[in-house]
Amino acid sequence: MFEQEVGMGLAGRARALWQHRRVLGLLIMRDLKVRYAGSVLGYFWTILDPLLMTGVYWFVFTVVFTRGSIGEEPYILFLVLGLLSWQWFSSSVTETSRALTSESRLVRSTRLPREIWVLKVVGSKGLEFLFSLPVVVIFMIAYRKPPAIEVLLFPLAIVMEAVLLTGIGLALAAATVLVRDLQRVVRIGLRVMFYLSPVIYSIQRIDIEAVRKLFALNPLTGIIELFRSALFPAVFAGWKIVGVSAAICVGSLFFGAWVFKRLESAVLKEL
């Protein structure tokens, strides 16, 4: 039976995941309940981390360093949109890299599609991202910043980030089982990626055209630009950057699914 599952084509694996969508939903809810069980603050831990980091960066770049802005005004709103998107990305990449090793007993003993353990992480972290959006609304009210019509693009940004994270997660989850040092590489890579993504600054503020074009190849650039267009439509980087990001997101999904399929047999032996 396992050999048949491993040999299943990508289309067949997608159908199997769709058939187990209710199980995926239950796993996501279980993940959230376990995470907040016994916690005094519970849900508020979801918003506390990005809120504190927003406060730190706002203080540094508006109080300590006041020589020109690196983002749009109000900067705190600009920041929180970038940091919430980054938190979803960072936490998902970290946890999907150990998605199979942390659930090794269930991965071996159940007949669920093994991709479901990656999707569970992306889904639960995505819900945490949605749960943290009231923070944005509070700042919007405080700064009297109404949303623009581009707020309708918000779901597109969510779908793009989910697709990107699923592709990265599938490749990392399988590869990390075989090369455990990859978890350390992931931590270092995320630190570098944070500063190479327009989280605390605007891509429009990059003066060198060649560098700006290079940053446009980062899929997070288009995603964060879409999120921010809801409140800062005047500085939207344009559909060309979003199109590049979308293509990379879809490409990462197919690449991740291919890597997962190729390594699954070796992963099961290792687990």
Domain boundaries, the chain: 2-270
- Percentage of the chain with pLDDT > 70? 92
Give the per-residue pLDDT at 7: 47
> How confident is residue 32, by pLDDT bands cut at 50, 70 and 90?
confident
pLDDT digits (tens, 9 = 90+) for 75-93: 889 999 999 999 999 999 9
Give the per-residue pLDDT at 63: 76
Between 10 and 123, the higher pLDDT residue = 123
Q: Please report the DSSP string for 73-87 in residue order.
A: SSHHHHHHHHHHHHH
Between 7 and 96, the higher pLDDT residue = 96
Between 46 and 32, the higher pLDDT residue = 32
**DSSP state for residue 151 in the 8-state scheme:** G
Give the per-residue pLDDT at 102: 84
Burial class (CB in 10 A: 0-12, 13-18, 19+), 141: exposed
Burial class (CB in 10 A: 0-12, 13-18, 19+), 169: buried
Q: Check whether 151 has a pLDDT greater than 60.
A: yes
pLDDT digits (tens, 9 = 90+) for 109-134: 888 888 999 999 999 999 999 988 98
pLDDT digits (tens, 9 = 90+) for 34-65: 777 666 566 677 777 778 888 888 888 777 76
> How confident is residue 2, by pLDDT bands cut at 50, 70 and 90?
very low
> How confident is residue 135, by pLDDT bands cut at 50, 70 and 90?
confident
Question: In the predicted model, what is the mean pLDDT of residues 241-267?
Answer: 93
> First CA to last CA across the chain, in angstroms?
17
Q: Check whether 70 has a pLDDT greater than 80.
A: no
pLDDT digits (tens, 9 = 90+) for 183-224: 899 999 999 999 999 998 888 887 778 888 888 899 999 999
> How confident is residue 5, by pLDDT bands cut at 50, 70 and 90?
very low
- Percentage of the chain with pLDDT > 90? 44
Pure H helices in the chain:
2-6, 10-19, 21-36, 44-59, 75-96, 99-102, 104-109, 116-131, 133-142, 154-178, 182-195, 209-215, 219-229, 239-270
Give the per-residue pLDDT at 64: 74
| CB-CB neighbours of 177 under 10 Å | 24
pTM above 0.75? yes
The residues near 13 (Cβ < 8 Å, ≥ 6 apart) are: 113, 115, 257, 261
